[in-house]
């Protein structure tokens, strides 16, 4: 097993949000694109993605702001799905930090 290695990278933020139903209490920036019901667009569903690259699968219209679970537009609305997306979000955060 290789020795543990820690890498530090400067990053503004890499956040992850959950919640359903979407509510003003969620405290999301207005710049987060949502569908007419208030669910958050992520990945390929993000309209006119900014940032000069396609968003990651769980990334919102705000670069490096992730959303998982029921709050996402088109989510499956099941516990196992929300948990799985959480684990994918962890990997995505590592990729975002590595690219920072």
Ligand X SMILES: Cc1cc2nc3c(=O)[nH]c(=O)nc-3n(C[C@H](O)[C@H](O)[C@H](O)COP(=O)(O)OP(=O)(O)OC[C@H]3O[C@@H](n4cnc5c(N)ncnc54)[C@H](O)[C@@H]3O)c2cc1C
Two structure tokens written together for 73: 């537009």
The residue (of 53 and 77) whose beta carbon lies closer to ligand X is: 77
Q: Which is nearer to ligand X, 78 or 94 (CB)?
A: 78
Q: Compute the least distance from the CB of residue 86 to ligand X, in Å.
A: 8
What minimum distance in Å lies between the beta carbon of 49 and ligand X? 22
**How far, in Å, CA of 50 to CA of 47, rounded?**
9
Alpha-carbon distances, residue 84 vs 33, 69, 80 (angstroms): 23, 9, 6
Residue nearest to ligand X (CB): 69
What 3-state DSSP class applies to 92?
Answer: helix
Alpha carbon distance 78, 42 (integer Å): 17
Give the nearest distance from C-beta 75 to ligand X in angstroms.
7
> Footprint of ligand X on this chain (CB under 6 A)?
18-20, 25-27, 69-70, 77-80, 82
């Amino acid at each position: 097993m290789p020795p543990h290695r820690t890498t530090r990278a400067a990053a503004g933020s890499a956040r992850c949000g959950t919640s359903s139903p979407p509510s003003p209490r969620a405290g999301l920036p207005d710049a987060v694109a949502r569908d007419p019901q208030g669910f958050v667009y992520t990945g390929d569903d993000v309209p006119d993605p900014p940032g000069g690259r396609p968003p990651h699968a769980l990334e919102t219209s705000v670069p490096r702001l992730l959303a998982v679970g029921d709050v996402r537009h088109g989510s499956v609305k099941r516990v196992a799905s929300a948990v799985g997306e959480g684990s994918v979000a962890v990997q995505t955060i590592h990729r975002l930090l590595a690219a920072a």
